[in-house]
């Protein structure tokens, strides 16, 4: 996406990750944005203003009180000028000040003067990030609709390991892109149905057969589609995720319930994306009461299982003009198996991933996928955030739909 004509403020605070702001500024300028950088005094300990001034092609704002006294209202002008402000990295100290409305330096003053959306990318040591004070401050900002980019987990400058790392530039870029995309509305007038999460097949009232799906991929797709203007129905198995804004969510537990919900809503959809990890088998006769082990004697126990309905195949049989996207989770002969599923289930596109590949594990915020298309084409994608992958899946689905 080109950022030509977009006015973006990059705020930089005192964090060891401040050097990465240079990469962000360079990328934004490369994509055509006009960039102004504002730094806290602490940020200047980590990266020189000259670097960021050179890359942005503009003076960097650091002083609240510029030498030229006629420019005393700079923050108001810049606040009106900006289409988006991103603070990356955002230190614990600056997050606290933003949460409580302090205006004691150029960055925090500007943050109060902007009229545009704000994105922040916290980066700090794990203990500071996990501290209740920081969590509370981030909650305050979230309630104010500040877009908070989750820090990545990994080894930190201190040698400790945990969440707190500033994500790679492409993740920051994607978060920015999403804000501009929301105005794009390229899915306006379309209905999109997404399935997400695991299913749970009851054994008795307290136990079930389930799987490790977190639902993050499906939720990211639902969120991306809603941001791009679609009317989104999200049929979700049991997950611990908040409903993305503007999305109609239907909660289900078992494969049968998911099947019935999808069949109720499918015929008005333009695109169906089935990201759920649906159980292939369900317990034939779940016990009505909790199974007591003494009732089973001293030996083991056998469960009789029945096949569940295949939702993707069911939609494939009656898809009409709808574009159908499935997921394939494979650990061996990946492409061959996924292609077979695509054909057998009459899908238009399959998103193939292998949970054993680094960056594609269950519950991870990133994924490594290959897209397979009904015409035999395939596209191997690098490791990226699930939010980014969600937009690419939608982009490709739209292209396939327009080709018809
Ligand atoms: N799927 C579905 N209903 C099922 C099983 C799977 O709709 N009962 C969908 C999934 O949501 C996914 C695709 O089918 O989009 C592939 O799921 P997967 O479990 O990988 O494939 P299976 O067909 O179940 O094959 P296998 O378990 O043999 O890999």
Write down the pLDDT at residue 69: 66
CA of 93 to the centre of ligand 1 (A): 47
Residue (of 200, 345, 205) closest to 282 by Cα position = 200
User: For ligand 1, atom 8, which residue shows the shortest CA distance?
Assistant: 310
Write down the pLDDT at residue 155: 86
Q: Provide mean pLDDT across the span 317-323.
A: 95
Q: Provide mean pLDDT across the span 145-171.
A: 91
CATH 3.40.50.10300 is right for the domain spanning 191-285+302-402: yes
CA–CA separation, 315 vs 209, rounded Å? Answer: 24
Sorted by where each begins, the domain ranges of the chain are: 7-181, 191-285+302-402
Does 5 score more than 90 pLDDT?
A: yes
Beta-strand pair 281-283/201-202 = unpaired
Write down the pLDDT at residue 76: 84
Model confidence over 62-121: pLDDT tens digits?
998 877 766 778 888 999 999 999 999 999 999 999 999 999 999 999 999 999 999 999
User: For ligand 1, atom 17, which residue shows the shortest CA distance?
Assistant: 328
CA of 262 to the centre of ligand 1 (A): 15
Does 391 score more than 80 pLDDT?
A: yes
Q: Provide mean pLDDT across the span 365-378.
A: 92
Residue from 218, 258, 307, 310 to probe ligand 1 pocket by mutation (most atoms less than 8 Å from CB): 310
Does 364 score more than 90 pLDDT?
A: no
Question: Which position among 93, 137, 185, 211 bears the catalytic label?
Answer: 211
Known catalytic residue at 211: yes
User: For ligand 1, atom 14, which residue shows the shortest CA distance?
Assistant: 312
Write down the pLDDT at residue 377: 92
* pLDDT above 70 as % of the chain: 99
Write down the pLDDT at residue 185: 85
14 neighbors 62 (Cβ within 8 angstroms) = no
Model confidence over 254-287: pLDDT tens digits?
999 999 999 999 999 999 999 999 999 999 999 9
Is there a shared CATH topology between the 7-181 domain and the 191-285+302-402 domain?
yes
CA of 129 to the centre of ligand 1 (A): 38
Residue (of 180, 166, 178) closest to 23 by Cα position = 166
Q: Which CATH superfamily groups domain 7-181?
A: Flavin prenyltransferase-like (3.40.50.1950)
User: For ligand 1, atom 6, which residue shows the shortest CA distance?
Assistant: 278
**Ligand 1 cavity residues, CB under 6 Å:** 195, 255, 274, 276, 278, 280, 308, 310-312, 326-329, 341
Does 183 score more than 80 pLDDT?
A: no
- In the predicted model, what is the mean pLDDT of the chain? 94
């Amino acid at each position: 996406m080109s950022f030509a004509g977009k006015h973006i403020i990059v705020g930089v605070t005192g964090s060891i990750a401040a050097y990465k702001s240079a990469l962000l500024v360079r990328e934004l300028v490369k994509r055509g944005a006009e960039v102004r950088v504002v730094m806290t005094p602490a940020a200047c300990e980590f990266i020189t203003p000259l670097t960021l001034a050179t890359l942005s092609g503009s003076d960097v704002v650091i002083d609240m009180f510029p030498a030229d006294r006629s420019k005393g209202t700079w923050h108001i002008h810049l606040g009106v000028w900006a289409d988006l402000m991103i603070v990356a990295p955002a230190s614990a100290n600056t997050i606290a000040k933003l949460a409580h409305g302090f205006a004691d330096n150029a960055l925090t003053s500007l943050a109060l003067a902007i009229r545009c959306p704000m994105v922040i990318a916290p980066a700090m040591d794990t203990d500071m990030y996990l501290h209740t004070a920081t969590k509370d401050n981030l909650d305050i900002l979230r309630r104010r609709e500040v877009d908070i980019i989750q820090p990545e987990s990994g080894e930190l400058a201190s040698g400790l390991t945990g969440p707190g790392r500033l994500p790679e530039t492409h993740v920051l870029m994607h978060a920015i892109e999403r804000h501009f995309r929301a105005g794009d509305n390229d899915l306006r007038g379309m209905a999109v149905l997404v399935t997400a999460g695991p299913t749970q097949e009851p054994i008795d009232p307290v136990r079930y057969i389930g799987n490790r799906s977190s639902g993050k991929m499906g939720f990211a797709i639902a969120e991306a589609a809603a941001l791009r203007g679609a009317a989104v129905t999200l049929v979700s198995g049991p997950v611990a995720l908040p409903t993305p804004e503007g999305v109609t969510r239907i909660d289900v537990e078992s494969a049968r319930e998911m099947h019935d919900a999808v069949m109720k809503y499918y015929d008005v959809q333009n695109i169906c994306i089935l990201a759920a990890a649906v159980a292939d088998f369900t317990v034939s006769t779940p016990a009505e009461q909790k199974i007591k082990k003494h009732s089973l004697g001293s030996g083991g126990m056998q469960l009789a299982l029945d096949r569940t309905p295949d939702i993707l195949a069911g939609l494939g049989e009656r898809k009409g003009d709808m574009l159908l996207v499935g997921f394939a989770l494979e650990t061996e002969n990946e492409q061959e198996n996924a292609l077979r599923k695509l054909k057998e289930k009459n899908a238009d596109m399959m998103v193939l991933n292998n949970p054993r590949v680094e960056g594609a594990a269950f519950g991870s915020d990133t994924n490594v996928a290959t897209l397979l298309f009904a015409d035999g084409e395939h596209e191997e994608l690098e490791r990226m955030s699930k939010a980014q992958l969600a937009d690419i899946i939608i982009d490709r689905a739209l292209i396939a739909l327009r080709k018809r």
